[in-house]
Amino acid sequence: MFTGLIQSLAEVADLLPERPGVRLVIREPKLAATSSVGDSIAINGCCLTVVDIAGDCFAFQAGEETLSRTNLGELTPSALVNLEQSLRVGDALGGHYVTGHIDGVGTVKSRRDDADWCTIAFNAPAAQLSQMASKGSVAVDGVSLTLVEVENELFTVALIPHTLAVTTLGRRQLGDRVNIETDVLAKYVQRHLSPMSNR
């Protein structure tokens, strides 16, 4: 379980083929020093397991399913990713409950910069949009955000200067693909209200 509050904007050190997946090596001295093999860490919002730690880097294995259903399959060495260690009992919950299970991939449709602030619109799959509501929560590339508008084919978020500076969202441009996780509570409500729940 995560909060959607990014702890580090880190660099991809290497991508090593491990068919049918890859070994993803991330360089982040601070988090590598406080992590152990077996820990869960969200990379662009996708929960992966630490499989090795060497110096200032730690490694993760991403399978074919993960690579095809998230933007992790598009990463290259030197790319930047959002990192968050899993929530521990007693930690402050400043964002919202994020599971690290990506629901779909969206695309940057528009970006409007206003000085150091920014409003971004994302196209998203209908299945995910049906679980969103204005002023509700969504995780984009693992970042906990408040929804501004939700329409038939897109949603918008307003980003403060801090978020733009310390996450990948500040570097996102038109056409870029992002990982989307909707609020877990919305999933259960939708499931309860669906016709199948009455069978």
Domain count, the chain: 2
The stretch 144-162 carries a mean pLDDT of 97
Domain with residue 61: its CATH number is: 2.40.30.20
Range of the domain at 62: 8-85
For residue 90, what pLDDT is reported? 79
Shared domain check, 108 and 81: no
For residue 82, what pLDDT is reported? 98
pLDDT digits (tens, 9 = 90+) for 4-54: 999 999 999 999 999 999 999 999 999 999 999 999 999 999 999 999 999
The stretch 101-129 carries a mean pLDDT of 97
For residue 144, what pLDDT is reported? 97
Domain boundary among 18, 52, 85: 85
Question: Which phi and psi (to 5°) does residue 161 adopt?
Answer: -55, -40
The stretch 138-145 carries a mean pLDDT of 98
Residue 99 in domain: no
pTM passes above 0.75: yes
Q: Is the pLDDT of residue 187 over 80?
A: yes
Residue 146 in domain: yes
Which amino acid does the sequence have at 119? T
Q: How far apart are alpha carbons 165 and 168 in whole angstroms? A: 8
Q: How far apart are alpha carbons 144 and 132 in whole angstroms? A: 13
For residue 198, what pLDDT is reported? 54
For residue 185, what pLDDT is reported? 82
Nearest to 180 by CA among 191, 169, 190: 169
Shared domain check, 110 and 138: yes
For residue 115, what pLDDT is reported? 94
pLDDT class for 94, splitting at 50, 70, 90?
confident
Would you say 71 and 142 are in contact if contact means Cβ atoms under 8 Å apart? no
Take residue 65 and report the two structure tokens written for it. Answer: 């399913």
Q: How far apart are alpha carbons 58 and 69 in whole angstroms? A: 22
Choice between 89 and 64, residue whose per-residue pLDDT is larger: 64
Domain boundary among 52, 85, 118: 85
Give the residue carrying structure tokens 């919002």: 45
Residue 2 in domain: no
For residue 179, what pLDDT is reported? 98
Q: Is the pLDDT of residue 195 over 80?
A: no
Shared domain check, 68 and 140: no
pLDDT class for 159, splitting at 50, 70, 90?
very high
pLDDT class for 131, splitting at 50, 70, 90?
very high
Shared domain check, 110 and 81: no
For residue 196, what pLDDT is reported? 63
Shared domain check, 177 and 108: yes
Shared domain check, 77 and 114: no
Percent of the chain with pLDDT over 70: 98
Q: Is the pLDDT of residue 91 over 70?
A: yes
Residue 31 in domain: yes
Shared domain check, 114 and 70: no
Shared domain check, 80 and 111: no
